[in-house]
Amino acid sequence: MAGGKSKGLGSEPGVKIIAENRRARFDYTVDEKVEAGLELTGSEVKALRDGTASLADAYALPKGAELFLLNAHIGSYKAASVFDHLPTRGRKVLMHRAEIDRWTAKVRERGYSIIPLVLYFKKGRAKVELGLCRGKTHDDRRQDIKERETKRELDRAMRRR
């Protein structure tokens, strides 16, 4: 699509993006992605509907046969008062067991990390898009910047014609 946004989650019907982890694509190379559910409390869902979430330092870790999302900040919901949640508590990720086992093996053996990329509502349910990522080196970042600048120059040249 020339000049427009690429198709992503925001263009799907029934999807409302709450938070994006833009820094993740700069710091990591994303090899695989998967959509997963989250086990949330009522006050967390209400806070997400208000849009008070951040994935800045979040990551997922396998514990036993389960996967937990850690350091994801979901702000407090004022109307919950006494029944409010802790903003950065660990939240269980809902995925198929085989997929959790496969990703856990890659994390333990090959030095991958599981990073949340996008937090969104899909048909009224809170979902997280997780990426199986490998950290970028300084040279990888330089190469990405060089490719981006080259593409930008080509686009400009094509528009001048």
Query: Nearest to residue 45, comparing CAs of 126, 99, 105, 140?
Result: 126
pLDDT at residue 131 tops 70: yes
Domain CATH for 58: 2.40.280.10
Interatomic CA distance for residues 31 and 146, integer angstroms: 21
Whether 144 is covered by a domain: the verdict is: no
pLDDT at residue 99 tops 60: yes
pTM > 0.75: yes or no = yes
* pLDDT tens digits, one per residue of 61-75: 998 889 999 998 888
* pLDDT tens digits, one per residue of 33-67: 999 999 888 888 888 888 888 898 899 999 888 99
Are the beta carbons of 93 and 67 closer than 8 angstroms? yes
pLDDT at residue 1 tops 60: no
Interatomic CA distance for residues 24 and 112, integer angstroms: 13
Average pLDDT on 114-141 reads 89
Beta-carbon contacts of 7 under 8 Å, excluding residues fewer than 6 positions away, are: 1
Whether 118 is covered by a domain: the verdict is: yes
pLDDT score recorded for residue 35: 93
Whether 152 is covered by a domain: the verdict is: no
What is the percentage of the chain residues whose pLDDT exceeds 70? Answer: 91
Domain count, the chain: 1
pLDDT at residue 29 tops 70: yes
Give the domain extent around 55: 15-136
Are the beta carbons of 100 and 66 closer than 8 angstroms? yes
Whether 5 is covered by a domain: the verdict is: no
